[in-house]
Amino acid sequence: MKSLADELFSDFREHSVSEFFRRNAAMLGYTGKIRSLTTIVHEGVTNAIDAAEEAGILPKITVMIKRVNDEPEHFRIIIEDNASGIPEQYLPDVFGKMLAGTKLHRAMQQRGQQGIGISGCVMFGQITSGKPATVVTSTGKGEAVRVDVMIDVDKNQGKIINKEKFKENWRGTRVEIEAKEVVYMRSRYGPFNYLRMTAIANPHARITFVEPDGTLTIFENATDKIPERPKPMPLHPWGIMSDDLLILAKRTKARTISGLLSTELSRVSKAKADEVCRLANVSPEKKPSELTWEEAEKIISAFKQVKLLAPPTSGLRPIGAAELENGMRQILNPEFVYTLTRPPKVYRGGLPFIVEVGIAYGGNAGKTLESRGENEGAEGEAGMDLIRFANRAPLIFDQGGCAITAAARSIDWRRYGVDINNAPLTLFVNISSAYVPYTSAGKQSIADEPEIVNEIRTAIMEAARELKKFLYRRLRAKERQERAGIFEKFLPVVARKAARLAGVEEPDIKPLLKKIAGVDHD
């Protein structure tokens, strides 16, 4: 006779990653008809730019969205790059297996990082249209292969339905995904705005976009300089936890704890490693495999007492203050712009990150019809427009739960002479990291890690102080102009009446007025 526990657990079974995300597609960003379409474009474009940069090639990306059978919610999304292509044997895993890829295990900045994005696109197309994704990729030696890929959800495996090889001198990868229950609109949340934002933060990329009605837009690259390829970085002692250290101890080839600390962590010399071991009362000659949890905790605490250099940035590729300023001036044409790139910091896990901030005032800065959400007021309304990026990829959705939004809202803008509800102000924030702590697999919102929020706040306040200086200078100039206007209006009258009372000829005060006006303009 079965016990109650046996009956309750009779349906217990293991679920694959693919099955989990099929039932929870919203976690990948597939929620809402406009957002779902933009998510497919986002995943394909980020992979395409990453692939070109890794191959040392200026990215040339083509995105086409075609309506299928004139149905209003049925589209074919085509994304093509000019990168090196994908070896044939990896195609099932790249497009059909979740949590498989080249990025998650390497500590360096890339737009994609989880090994879920493009396979999630394939799955969404599969469950809404019943059609496989079609992939055409160059394999080298003047050959290319075309495959149709579907996901075996129960096994989290990719299945090749059809395959065709042919001679082709073309280089790159072309992905076609057919999806239903999606809608195309030119709105803040649509593919067009996503690509426009991507072009701002990636001035080296050329993006061609063909909309469903055939409208062609080309976002030309503003520079021919390819960002230097990032290099994998070891963890930095600031921010690592005991568990991180124990994992390194299991994987290291070092024979001693001192060797482990100096070879597996960045900015730790042999002398620093010995000093840490002494402070932690752990033998530097002890084998890493014998390291205990308590000893790991002591080592982590000891690192806080030792002076270390800031984490390296060899694996990070921020936009750069100059490039960011050029982009904001080109797009917004503001009266004032200030940009900055902060020194690297570390958050939990020992991973470095860099915060960049740009602030623009006047011109086309602030909320516009395109930058507002669907419920944010009427056309012409002003106010601060917050633009969020992570690793040069725009974050369009989930703004309310993002660390960047939290940091921006925590600022007392009145101290800087700004009414964010009415000022023509655009605030740009980009976070670069080897592993951005997103709140979900949809990669549209950043978790409010205290170190990240504090660093964003510091960067915003630095930019806001420069804005305050500009606004003060502008106010003083306006006051001087008003005073000069009073002189120009009343001084001729005073001079005329004074000359009449004195019985002398009226003086020529034009030079004096010019002098006043000249002083005003200095």
Give strand pairing partners of 353: 345, 433
Strands 74-80, 60-67: pairing kind = antiparallel
Give CA–CA dist 173/84, Å, rounded. Answer: 8
222-250 pLDDT tens trace: 788 887 776 777 788 877 888 889 999 99
Give CA–CA dist 342/368, Å, rounded. Answer: 28
Q: What is the reported pLDDT for 93?
A: 87
Token couple for 492? 């001729």
Phi, psi of 447 (to 5 degrees): -65, 145
Residue 380 and residue 490 in one domain = no
Residue 21 and residue 106 in one domain = yes
In sequence order, which residues have a C-beta less than 8 Å from that of residue 213 and are 6 or more positions away? none
Cβ atoms 63, 44 nearer than 8 A: yes
Answer whether residue 312 is part of any domain: no
Give CA–CA dist 479/58, Å, rounded. Answer: 50
As for how many domains the chain has, the answer is 4
Cβ atoms 172, 86 nearer than 8 A: no
Model's pTM, two decimal places?
A: 0.73
Residue 137 and residue 26 in one domain = yes
Residue 79 and residue 64 in one domain = yes
Residue 441 and residue 480 in one domain = no
What's the domain range around 418? 321-465
User: What are the strands, taking DSSP E only, across 205-297?
Assistant: 206-210, 216-219
Residue 248 and residue 109 in one domain = no
For 443, the enclosing helix (H) or strand (E) is none
Residue 356 and residue 261 in one domain = no
In sequence order, which residues have a C-beta less than 8 Å from that of residue 395 and are 6 or more positions away? 388, 389, 402, 404, 443, 444, 445, 446
Residue 268 and residue 344 in one domain = no
Residue 256 and residue 330 in one domain = no
Residue 66 and residue 173 in one domain = yes
Q: What is the reported pLDDT for 371?
A: 46
Answer whether residue 4 is part of any domain: no
Residue at which a domain ends, from 259, 275, 303: 303
Burial (CB < 10 A; 0-12, 13-18, 19+), residue 195, is buried
Residue 169 and residue 59 in one domain = yes
Residue 250 and residue 206 in one domain = no
Q: What is the CATH number of the domain that holds 58?
A: 3.30.565.10
Burial (CB < 10 A; 0-12, 13-18, 19+), residue 11, is exposed
Q: What is the CATH number of the domain that holds 430?
A: 3.30.230.10
3-class state of residue 361 by DSSP:
strand
DSSP string over 296-354: HHHHHHHHTTS--PPPP-TT-----HHHHHHHHHHHH--SEEEEEEPPPEEETTTEEEE
Answer whether residue 7 is part of any domain: no
Give CA–CA dist 3/103, Å, rounded. Answer: 47
Q: What is the reported pLDDT for 178?
A: 95
375-399 pLDDT tens trace: 333 334 457 999 999 988 889 888 8
Q: Estimate the share of the chain in helix, then strand, then coil, as percent rounded to the nearest 5.
A: 40, 20, 40
Q: What is the reported pLDDT for 474?
A: 81
Answer whether residue 248 is part of any domain: yes
Low-confidence ranges of the chain (pLDDT < 50): 101-108, 112-115, 369-381, 520-522
In sequence order, which residues have a C-beta less than 8 Å from that of residue 152 and are 6 or more positions away? 18, 96, 158, 159
Answer whether residue 199 is part of any domain: yes
